[in-house]
Amino acid sequence: MAFGACVFPDRAAAGGALAARMLQQHLTPPVLVLALPRGGVPVAYEIARALAAPLDVMLVRKVGMPGQPELAIGAIAGGDIVVHERTIEQEIPGIAADFERIAAQERLELRRREQVYRAGRGPLALQGRTVVLVDDGLATGSTMLAAVRAARAGGAERVVVAAPVASPQAAALVGAEADQLIILQTPAMLLAIGQWYECFEQLEDVEVCRLLELHRGNLAQPRRTDQTER
């Protein structure tokens, strides 16, 4: 699948392109696909469908700079996983106190999202599985790094990170801890993930829940063996 000027039409198209790449990788079963919500869910849905693998969310939150929430100063994940952007901490004295304050707020959002997305279900077991962590793009890499560490803490046998686009810095950061990194585009200058999508709308919780439920229903159906599926 080719895209003009390396731009993806939308997250679903990016997920389809990633899925095609991953079908060539022969991942060690059993495979579990975990999306970083919200933006990673439509991408991960296409991957999980292609791999006929279970789909769940990996609940992580970016900790944003005060006044500039889109600029990550770190990230958190369940199990007390914390990632700090050390370079920013060195450049901005006193940012550590802001980090703790904002991280406390983001932990509340993590709990809210778990209640909404899982609706009383427990998280899928990671032990002994190849866990594929998916997002719609990696800018600083701190959020995905938190996800990698959370997957390790959960007992994942192998951790694969997949994203349509990533900065070289983020790819290097995450690739140092993941077992495998699958990225379609690594532009030298990545100012914003949204620049790499023609359509990059804000996803709502209801769409995340819809895709998760849809995939659960799809997995429950007998899988067809002919080529007319899709």
The reply to whether the predicted model has a pTM over 0.85 is: yes
Domain parsing of the chain, residue ranges: 4-217
> Which has more confidence, 32 or 3?
32
Span 168-189, mean pLDDT?
A: 96
pLDDT band at 228 (very low <50, low <70, confident <90, very high): very low
Distance CA 34, CA 80 (A): 18
Q: What is the pLDDT of residue 230?
A: 40
- Beta strands across the sheet bearing 180-185: 55-57, 31-35, 130-134, 158-165, 180-185
Distance CA 169, CA 188 (A): 9
Tokens of 212: 């998760």
Angle at 157 between CA 153 and CA 159, to 5 degrees: 75
Q: What is the pLDDT of residue 89?
A: 67
DSSP state of 129: S
Options 3.30.390.30, 3.20.20.70, 3.40.50.2020, 2.30.30.90; CATH of 4-217: 3.40.50.2020
66-82 pLDDT, tens digit per residue, is 888 887 889 999 888 99
pLDDT band at 223 (very low <50, low <70, confident <90, very high): low
Decide if pLDDT at 46 tops 70.
yes
Span 137-166, mean pLDDT?
A: 97
The mean predicted confidence, pLDDT, of the chain is 90
Span 57-62, mean pLDDT?
A: 95
Decide if pLDDT at 36 tops 80.
yes
Span 36-52, mean pLDDT?
A: 97
Span 143-160, mean pLDDT?
A: 97
Secondary structure (DSSP) of 167-182: -HHHHHHHHTTSSEEE
Q: What is the pLDDT of residue 119?
A: 84
